[in-house]
Structure 1
Amino acid sequence: MLRRLIAAAALLAAALTAAPAAAAGGPLRDLAEARGIYLGTAVTGDRLTGGYADVAADQFGSLTPGNEMKWDAVEPTRGSHDWSRADRVVAFAEAHGQRVRGHTLVWHNQLPGWLTGGTWTADQLRTLMTDHVTAEAGRYKGRVDHWDVVNEPLAEDGTLRRSVFGATLGESYIADAFRAARAADPTAKLYLNDYSIEAVGAKSDGMYDLVKRLLAQGVPVDGVGFQAHLILGQVPASLEANLRRFADLGVDVAITELDVRTTLPATAEKLDRQKADYASVVRACLAVTRCAGVTVWGFTDSDSWIPDFFPGQGAATLYDEDLYPKPAYDGIAGALAPVTPPAPGVCSVTYAVTQQWAGGYTAQATLRNTGTAPLDGWTVRWSQPAGQRVTQAWNTALTQSGTEVTASHLPYNATLPPGGSAAFGLNGTWSGTNPPPTSLICTSGT
């Protein structure tokens, strides 16, 4: 509490215009870019001033308009468009070298009253929908990097949601919306986006099958967005594997609306757990080659949707209400930290997970003498990037202290001729994600 009071006083003294705290390696957006992904946030357009604007511009490489691009916002009266609020967010992003993630073209919520209150035939509704997609995607042609073309198309059991579009048009409305978006903006990445599909289960299976069907029809689905509105301590163990199976279909994947809510008050212990949860999600994205990036759904608790929808819960974002970064900020920064290359030497080592199951895995490492003289003893050290624990090892003397692991030779494999190799293996446990070590350091000698 004292730290928050001090931070609030400092912010007040600076009229909420002081530069936000940054990670030791630079702003989050730069750390993410260096790792090959983007780190984005949803924003409220009319708050893009003062300290709020400073954080949004400095820390994030992508902006998502939280509400400004939804149908009721841009076409409150049939045939009459108001682009002012959406334009403001897009212009802000362009002024600060940021991408824009368009959200959303077709959704069953936040529709204008003239649409929901009307009586339409299937053909009329289809035309209204495709005209809307064409108008909005066309207005921002070349200025929006990704579009959530269809948002939340599935029910909890993985079947088609009986929305105004699903009930009247069936699944075909999804294909029509994507084709209209591609025609209006051929360069934007086009996404399906939904919640509760982060873990392998009925709903994610339904999305997986839907994407396969759409791709088989030639529908231009470029990616799948996983909203990831998570509860403290409940990052799905299958998240990384789930992202990977979608990527294996040939589409990109992204975490699009990440927040981690907790029951209030937010204690130090809860915030530390939240830090680990945010880091775990970012690591899952980094571990999947086709994961394009991570977007947090608002960066400050003062702009979070959680308290309004989940009474008694909150503290779900990276910054507190006074724009002071919380431990979750450090969790993301740590997950995005630059990978340290192995130190040069006379040996090298490779590591691969050879088998994985819920909560457990088997890995094998192979050490090779890259020098011109025999090795007389060797040691391999690494850090477990997601806190995995080694439970068994063979062909090595292995110890673990916290996240640090040390594996050394045994008498029968200590000596390696030039070009020779030695392999050792291990079993371990994991929770959340199971990425491989980012750096394995091999040293020679006893």
Structure 2
Amino acid sequence: MFRHPPPRGRRTVGLLATALVTLSAGLTAVASTHPAHADTATLGELAEAKGRYFGSATDNPELSDTRYTRILGSEFGQITVGNTMKWQYTEPSRGRFDYTAAEEVVDLAESNGQSVRGHTLVWHNQLPSWVDDVPAGELLGVMRNHITHEVDHFEGRLIHWDVVNEAFEEDGSRRRSVFQQKIGDSYIAEAFKAARAADPDAKLYYNDYNIEGIGPKSDAVYEMVKSFKAQGVPIDGVGMQAHLIAGQVPASLRQNIRRFADLGVDVALTELDIRMTLPRTAAKDARQATDYGAVVEACLAVSRCVGITLWDYTDKYSWVPSVFPGQGAALPWDENFAKKPAYHAIAAALDDGSPTPGGNCTATHRVTSRWQGGFTAEVTVENDHTAPITGWAVTWTLSDGQSVDHVWNGALTADGQNVTVRDAGYNGTLGVGGSTTFGFRGQGAADVPTDMACASGQPSRTPA
């Protein structure tokens, strides 16, 4: 298992994607092979071989579940304390500190030889009410004292600290937290300075959601980090939370990771899950697996992307259904601790070998014309792998009343509402960054598929 901060500078190549296994819970069976090494090694071991860590967040209530803790302690090289390092737990009243709950998680990780990320020192949420009542002239001192006390308590035991969490709005403006209102823009830099003084060795991170792709929010974080580096503010990394939606992994993820790395900071994917609209289906599982493989591949493609952490590893303890009604099944293990296709996609992406179905290409759908009772559409297939691919297949589920009666530049097979279009032979080989298109004529409403997935390494088939 991974025990120490990962070494830098090792670029990886030859990534794999999804290897599907027979689905449980009455879903349609989808089978494939994946490398033998991935069968025997844990995700933590596979990541360690790449100079990364692969971890899971956890929370104190589930630690009484022995089946859960057995997997938690054996599969992962890193643990994040999901809740009980937050301010409401560690300083519930001013000047009174309590690390009992956090220590339970850290002790467990240490007993398993796992590294630990600290989460989080300064956040607008999960604050005890007394913080809001601190006079403006005192809050900077209170914040510094809190950071100093907590970081000093765990000094030498953690590899990373999420120093400040979620300080920006979607449009790139500063969130109007109590710290922003009473201290001003300088509070983030002051938080990092206090953390560095308390532990010179822990890597210090800014952490946020919806900064995985390039856009106004990630641009604002980028400019802040760039400014901090120029000013000598001690920031070591950026945490991209990566609470994602199946079929909506940002196309600019790898580019975004790289641009932050080019500033001279590490990047970690700190809270990864990929949710879907329930109920689960084989097609949705395949889409999710492809996405997990693509996320892992994006991290491995940038040497300063140092690790990936799931926001817990099993659907049994996922936060998603309580926050996003009708959505869930976001994690690589189901609620019964069975490994889902996403697990094998992660393992395959971490393990060297030839491409397997379920990744290394993307499919983008657009409607080109429509009329009463019918439509035509074009699908662009793009190689987003680091090497050429030979053979591809695009799958999706037709909506009620839809059918496909003609395809060009591809070969169609259908099983009820589940549709697969494979390459036509002459357009099956795509160089790095290369793309091709196929089109089809459909009957029914021109609904855009929500679960379209692309798999490379598929055998080419000539249209009948």
Alignment partner of 1:120 is 2:126: no
* Correspondences of 1:26-105 after superposition (within 5 Å): 26-49=41-64, 50-105=66-121
Which residue does 1:428 correspond to in 2? 434
Which residue does 2:158 correspond to in 1? 144
Letter in 2 for 1:45: N
TM-score with structure 2 setting the length: 0.71
Deviation at 1:147, TM superposition (A): 0.5
Distance 1:385 1:29, change over 3 A: farther
Bigger relative contact order, structure 1 or 2, given CA contacts below 8 A and separation 6+? 2
Alignment partner of 1:106 is 2:99: no
1:183 aligns to what SS in structure 2?
helix
Letter in 1 for 2:231: Q
* 1:167-205 CA distance string (max 9 Å, x none): 221221011100110011110000000111111111111
Letter in 2 for 1:338: D
Deviation at 1:120, TM superposition (A): 1.0
Alignment partner of 1:302 is 2:316: yes
Letter in 2 for 1:162: R
Which residue does 1:355 correspond to in 2? none
Distance 1:430 1:57, change over 3 A: farther
Letter in 2 for 1:114: W
Letter in 1 for 2:120: T
* 1:5-33 CA distance string (max 9 Å, x none): 9xxxxxxxxxxxxxxxx941411100010
Hey, which bits of structure 1, 4+ residues long, moved more than 3 A?
1-5, 358-364, 381-388, 399-406
Letter in 2 for 1:32: A
Letter in 1 for 2:49: A
> Could you tell me how far apart the structure 2 residues matched to 1:251 and 1:359 are?
33
> Could you tell me how far apart the structure 1 residues matched to 2:252 and 2:393 are?
16
Letter in 2 for 1:205: D
Deviation at 1:216, TM superposition (A): 1.4
Distance 1:225 1:430, change over 3 A: farther
Which residue does 1:241 correspond to in 2? 255
Distance 1:75 1:338, change over 3 A: same
CA contact 1:102–1:148 (8 Å) conserved in 2: yes
Distance 1:430 1:312, change over 3 A: farther
Equivalent of 1:201, from 212, 215, 221?
Answer: 215
> Could you tell me how far apart the structure 2 residues matched to 1:402 and 1:80 are?
70
* Correspondences of 1:152-171 after superposition (within 5 Å): 152-171=166-185
Which residue does 2:228 correspond to in 1? 214
Which residue does 2:452 correspond to in 1? none
Distance 1:262 1:362, change over 3 A: closer
> Could you tell me how far apart the structure 2 residues matched to 1:43 and 1:217 are?
35
CA contact 1:31–1:338 (8 Å) conserved in 2: no
> Could you tell me how far apart the structure 2 residues matched to 1:362 and 1:198 are?
17
CA RMSD of aligned residues (A): 3.2
> Could you tell me how far apart the structure 1 residues matched to 2:77 and 2:333 are?
17
Which residue does 1:18 correspond to in 2? none
CA contact 1:383–1:403 (8 Å) conserved in 2: no
TM-score with structure 1 setting the length: 0.74
Equivalent of 1:315, from 310, 315, 329?
Answer: 329
1:24 aligns to what SS in structure 2?
helix
> Could you tell me how far apart the structure 1 residues matched to 2:201 and 2:392 are?
36
CA contact 1:260–1:317 (8 Å) conserved in 2: yes
Alignment partner of 1:190 is 2:204: yes
> Could you tell me how far apart the structure 2 residues matched to 1:185 and 1:318 are?
34
Equivalent of 2:350, from 330, 336, 340?
Answer: 336
CA contact 2:241–2:271 (8 Å) conserved in 1: yes
CA contact 1:387–1:403 (8 Å) conserved in 2: no
> Could you tell me how far apart the structure 2 residues matched to 1:174 and 1:67 are?
21
Which residue does 2:340 correspond to in 1? 326
> Could you tell me how far apart the structure 1 residues matched to 2:40 and 2:393 are?
22
* 1:228-277 CA distance string (max 9 Å, x none): 11011001110000000000000001111111111111111111111111
Letter in 1 for 2:117: R
Deviation at 1:95, TM superposition (A): 0.7
Which residue does 1:284 correspond to in 2? 298
Distance 1:165 1:384, change over 3 A: farther
